Structure 1
């Protein structure tokens, strides 16, 4: 399964450059937010000057002349300040929500484009963690943190200018602590970033453990694994606790150190400023303003220390989110193919040739990413409407042949031709739109029977659905239920038996009237009576369609046009059922042993 990649040790500008593309639609919102925060910063810079004016003109002079006008100006500043804060909070909150929505939409779209091989090698928890907590952390930090950062920078610039104007020597004394702030920030950057990466990585493992334990609840009960599962999960959460504490410790150390340095800066302002007042270099109002500015100058630094720690965590999340968004699919349609025939989301079906159903594997070789070679110069020609059954030991290459036929994978070398056309010269969904696929373990979605069958063709009418169900002998059991086609199937079809789920998945595959069909051990998990019903359905469904049948129960494939015995990626026997029985080779022995086994079970009741 997908493992965590080693990330950069520092803030990675490439990651944030990629993220800036996502922010492009919100450029106007960000500019407005930054302007609001500049206004807030400017107002906060003005208030100490107003205090200085009040001390110099009202306190020291012991006069009230102009006090009312001053009070009105002060109140106006507070009003504008309050409105700016309100607008900032409302806009930043909306921006956070919209960004999370857009990134999740992009992530989900990417997941639709990625081929089957991606899901074969990537844990569900890995994907879920990125689509939920990582995206939430990222959008939250960007919408609030970066805008706060702009406020902090504007505030520091404004305060620096004001202090320089009041007394540049005292301003330089206050800012002597800045080099120490920079050194501390650089030291803690790497510590916090690495700790946050570890937290996010373990969070993926926790999500995966949740997913596996929930899906495998029945297995857990039957194997009495509750205590073992709890121990394993406790071990993961214990690691999460340690990593989270480590990240918190670094962040909690960083902030007090910045606070200490800020307090030293304020103390310097009081010490040297007090001496300046005694020596009549500056007035008392200027000293009060300087103390306010010294506090204000380090307040943004304190805020930015927190933002900085959050950005470390956000980068860890950003790296993980973009590792998904930037994932390159193994199977990509060429630009000229997309231009002519469209893509998955915008197909140009009017340009698609109709599929008749001839299939040819031409010198096909295939190897998985780990280097295991499954097929080598494999050749097979299938006529339109033929049913080809595949039998053989586990790992012989049966599923690989079918996956290549469905274009879930593509050949490493050689060609696969559909009606004489190399399927790489057509869009992927040209085949998928013409494909019916029934799995060994059928998956139904939450909803009604009617809705699940309509997933096969969203334009299917109720009459089309009933016709498909009658074709696969599912109509009778559906109508025997209290709500008929409006019966809820439950999550994953859990309210139905395996046989009922299989028949519904059959109807769902057939309602789209596909030219190509695949049955992947579709009768291996059902009882004998349901198997008989499905065998009758198979004869009806496969008639006139080019089909591959991977069979566990050989009784299912007796009527196949050809049966191929696959071994080590090669065809070792080929023929009809009767021809292979007469040959008395691998298939004969397999069929004989299975027949004896089933008859023994029947005799024993």
Structure 2
């Protein structure tokens, strides 16, 4: 899904986009200057070669003499050897820039993805982002390195050719070049067509990447719903659209080059007709005539290369637009400059200035709505003492997850304040808060690697003893040791080699190993079996002691020991108290709890 704030797409070649993109080339300026210098030398030598031909004809062939031929031959081969060296050097330089530029842009893009807020990912598909950082970056690095070579070479060659031709005969030069204005008009027409076609190709390529990504992620769902044929039809529609657009784009590109060559042939024909008359009347030497024909033929080669490069730039402009929108997208949530100065940023923290978090939390008149306009909280107030366990219950969409996401500063209030230990958390850094958070999701995500690696993600410098201690604390140590390789067991992509309960316990250990001051459990027991649920309940009792914690619960049996249970409905607290108090009131919580208890007993009786 494309973001609604996508950079406004332009229909013409946009120099402004390339100016914005070229600022990322600043650190490569030395290499680019060397490459440009080498190409100017190459172009200069190419421009001089027809002069050598003219000299040979006028001095050796026309005069039927071999005086000086040996020296000329040595010089001629010396120039070619020097040219070969220059070609080798610029190919090496261009390849180096292409590789380093792709690395540089991908690093910037990956860094930006780490900085962007949750709201960005709400509106961006995985396939769309992957397409930007893979095929778009590759296309841009190629056009910048090899495209710039062609442009510098082409422009230098044409300037050199024109200068020499004008020096020898202005009239003949003007006649040979009379087709250039026509080519310019034709080029403008094709540029617009090529840009429009290639932009559509890039957009459809992203959609196809997203289709692949979604299908791989949802393979099991596809099988259970028997949607293989429907998915294939949907993919075929996207693939057919891309094929049609790609063929159309290639058609315009392939038509452009023959037109350039044809116009060049007309220019060469004019030079032959006019120059031939001059040679017959002896107003022009035969060597000069051959030189002019050579320049006229060769002039349209760099011109066609320049036209081809401009067409490629038109193609790559769509990629440049898309990468710029990612790299230059500002996070919705960011630290103010004075905060960064004291506390550091996400990548350069000043931990020596970080205050200890004790865990006293207060929501003061907090209002929040998502970007789509959905209002969730309105003047929400809540005070939580240090070390309290707060449970949040309520129907889907009531605002439970929004409350904890605001607490974690994944989003920020539109109005009001959230205080931690009496201070607005926006006066402290994001990293300061989130480094003191332990968050366990309903659907835990494990990274490819071993169990040990995944637990250590919570504290990268953790020792083996600390890893095992965290696993024991959440009752995960025994099942880990039952595995053949223990903590060195590979979890597979997304933790696919483990059960849901095992993944949940490992994610619990990962959260607790950093010893967080604030803990959040977001329906962490809703998708696991009863036995694992009991293990997690025991782990919760041990790990949450003395920590401020929030539990979003689906199974109410997991929160009976919470210090305070908040019943949330439409963003408001409609009931508050501990388990016994709420049962005595016989309100919404009482009905919810008794209904769930009856359902569980009914299921248990059926099993028996």
Residue of structure 2 in register with 1:363 after alignment: 365
Residue of structure 1 in register with 2:260 after alignment: 258
Residue of structure 1 in register with 2:11 after alignment: 9
Q: CA RMSD in A?
A: 0.9
Aligned length: 605
SS in 2 for 1:176: coil
Note if contact 2:57-2:287 (Cα within 8 Å) is conserved in structure 1: yes
- Tell me the TM-score normalized by structure 2: 0.99
Q: State the 1:13 CA deviation.
A: 2.2
Q: State the 1:5 CA deviation.
A: 5.0
- Tell me the TM-score normalized by structure 1: 0.99
Residue of structure 1 in register with 2:75 after alignment: 73
- Of 545, 553, 556, which aligns to 2:555? 553
Q: Distance in 1 between matches of 2:155 and 2:434?
A: 54
Residue of structure 1 in register with 2:34 after alignment: 32
Q: State the 1:541 CA deviation.
A: 1.1
- Of 163, 171, 174, which aligns to 2:173? 171
SS in 1 for 2:44: helix
Q: Distance in 1 between matches of 2:542 and 2:253?
A: 67
- Of 86, 107, 117, which aligns to 2:119? 117
Residue of structure 2 in register with 1:142 after alignment: 144
SS in 1 for 2:169: helix
Residue of structure 2 in register with 1:321 after alignment: 323
Q: State the 1:18 CA deviation.
A: 1.5
Q: Distance in 2 between matches of 1:166 and 1:45?
A: 14
Q: Distance in 2 between matches of 1:108 and 1:467?
A: 33
Q: Distance in 1 between matches of 2:429 and 2:265?
A: 65
Q: Distance in 2 between matches of 1:56 and 1:109?
A: 64
Q: State the 1:126 CA deviation.
A: 1.3
Whether 2:374 is the aligned partner of 1:381: answer no
The 5 A counterparts of 1:200-349 are 200-349=202-351
Q: Distance in 1 between matches of 2:123 and 2:363?
A: 26
Q: Distance in 2 between matches of 1:489 and 1:28?
A: 45
Moved more, 407-416 or 223-232: 223-232
Note if contact 2:366-2:379 (Cα within 8 Å) is conserved in structure 1: yes
Note if contact 2:7-2:321 (Cα within 8 Å) is conserved in structure 1: no
- Of 389, 394, 397, which aligns to 2:396? 394
Residue of structure 2 in register with 1:495 after alignment: 497
Note if contact 2:106-2:137 (Cα within 8 Å) is conserved in structure 1: yes
Q: Distance in 1 between matches of 2:329 and 2:48?
A: 50
Moved beyond 3 Å, runs of 4+: 3-6
Q: State the 1:115 CA deviation.
A: 0.8
Q: Distance in 2 between matches of 1:173 and 1:14?
A: 36
- Of 478, 482, 485, which aligns to 2:484? 482
Q: Distance in 1 between matches of 2:90 and 2:371?
A: 50
Whether 2:605 is the aligned partner of 1:603: answer yes
Q: State the 1:546 CA deviation.
A: 0.6
Q: State the 1:6 CA deviation.
A: 4.0
Q: Distance in 1 between matches of 2:418 and 2:606?
A: 47
Q: Distance in 1 between matches of 2:113 and 2:479?
A: 36
Q: Distance in 2 between matches of 1:141 and 1:499?
A: 49
Residue of structure 2 in register with 1:542 after alignment: 544
Q: Distance in 2 between matches of 1:174 and 1:7?
A: 39
Q: Distance in 1 between matches of 2:17 and 2:427?
A: 34
SS in 1 for 2:381: strand
SS in 1 for 2:596: helix
Q: State the 1:10 CA deviation.
A: 1.8
Deviations 1:202-221 (A, max 9, x none): 11101110100000011111
Q: Distance in 1 between matches of 2:277 and 2:221?
A: 78
Q: State the 1:2 CA deviation.
A: 2.8
The 5 A counterparts of 1:375-454 are 375-454=377-456
Q: Distance in 2 between matches of 1:310 and 1:189?
A: 10
Q: Distance in 1 between matches of 2:15 and 2:546?
A: 58
Residue of structure 2 in register with 1:591 after alignment: 593
